[in-house]
Amino acid sequence: MISFNCPPCYGTELQYIGQAIANRQLCGDGPFTKKCQHWIQERFGTQKAFLTTSCTSALDMALLLCKLSPGDEVILPSFTFSSTATSAVLSGARLVFVDIRPDTMNIDEKRIEDAITERTKVIMVMHYAGVSCEMDTILEIAERHHLIVVEDAAQGVMSTYKGRALGTLGDFGCYSFHETKNYSMGEGGALLVKDPALNERAEILWEKGTNRSKFYRGQVDKYTWVDFGDSYLPSELSAAYLWGQLEGADAINENRLATWNTYFSELSPLSESGRIDLPTVPPECRHNAHMFYIKCRNLDERQAYIEYMREHGVQTVFHYIPLHSAPAGLRYGRFYGEDRYTTAESERLVRLPIYYGIPADEVEQVIRHTKDFFA
């Protein structure tokens, strides 16, 4: 079976895990955590990055830092992973789902403004497949209405919009280092914070409600419980694995892009003849080949294709059941306006195997079987 995903391993991870053990610090915020955070800050251009135990926890931190009140509203796409929404629920907010654009599958920036009410506090965007949302428009709307922008950039590490890294455009950016993402530590993530005034509050939240980080820097003479907090620090073992991945970040990115480009050029004839649709990457976006998807004509054809590929030894998967129609989505939110594309487009979409180091002959087989199916 050609697997859809394989957790990335660059080759240096085990050595760094050995070093973490030799350092005699396994809990979080040690040398590897600091190296990873520093790398993210320098490479992507953000004043502060916190490694977290997941993108879900980074999103939770971001929404807690927004300090919402019950009944406040958060605007977000319905076509996203549950974590985007659960963080907003944790903060006490009501969810207002907005339709997506069919070309990028991202939130439709033209539909956001109409969904804003006097209770709206936050716009959450999710950069699907590592292709950026239309951020200039979204940031301009947010500024005019005094709204906070949170980027779910779980899939967008190493992608850019007009030359700026995804995750650094909004007030908060959230990365995932889950094993299904481009760079991994098994389970993990990062929170990127734009406003330095929020660093201290974020650090307390991260460190179980204490001012322990301040204590270690010698800024206070004892550490104590100062505010609400949680446990968001990953262990040094996980950070050591991630350090190996970040060192290989360019090589991993180029390898994924090469696979993506092969799929795109080989499947272009099917798209030109109108049999399938291929992903769109707007000119101002540079993507990270997080995902390669095609769109079938409809749900029935997609099911037949997934089944055909399975019979031919290829694992393909679909994405997502729109949140507004899921049990929790019905409970916590509402869809604003017409669902023109969210449901219809999600039903056509199917993702092909792509991961760091996928063998070229496997990519060829996926392409061959796909061409045969649509012939």
Binding site for ligand PLP (CB under 6 A): 54-56, 80-81, 83-84, 126, 152, 154-155, 176, 178, 189
Nearer to ligand PLP by Cβ, of 125 and 202: the residue is: 125
User: Residue 186 phi/psi, 5° resolution?
Assistant: 85, -80
Instruction: Compute the least distance from the CB of residue 174 to ligand PLP, in Å.
Output: 7
Residue closer to ligand PLP, measured from CB, 126 or 193: 126
Distance between CA atoms of 166 and 161, rounded to whole angstroms? Answer: 7
CB of 304 to ligand PLP, least distance (A): 26
In this complex, which beta carbon is closest to ligand PLP, that of residue 86 or of residue 262? 86
Q: What angle do CA 175, 181, 183 make, to 5 degrees?
A: 75
Instruction: Estimate the share of the chain in helix, then strand, then coil, as percent rounded to the nearest 5.
Output: 40, 15, 40
**Cβ of residue 320: shortest distance to ligand PLP, in angstroms?**
9
- Residue placing its CB nearer to ligand PLP in the complex, 83 or 253: 83
Q: Which is nearer to ligand PLP, 56 or 213 (CB)?
A: 56
**Minimal distance in Å, beta carbon 290 to ligand PLP?**
8
* 33 closest CA partner among 259, 307, 281, 240: 240
Q: How far is CA 305 from the centre of its chain?
A: 27
Element (H, E) at 229: none
CB 127 → ligand PLP: shortest distance, Å? Answer: 8
* C-alpha to C-alpha distances, 43 to 36, 53, 70, 286, 345, nearest whole angstrom: 10, 21, 37, 15, 34
Strand partners, 96: 75, 334
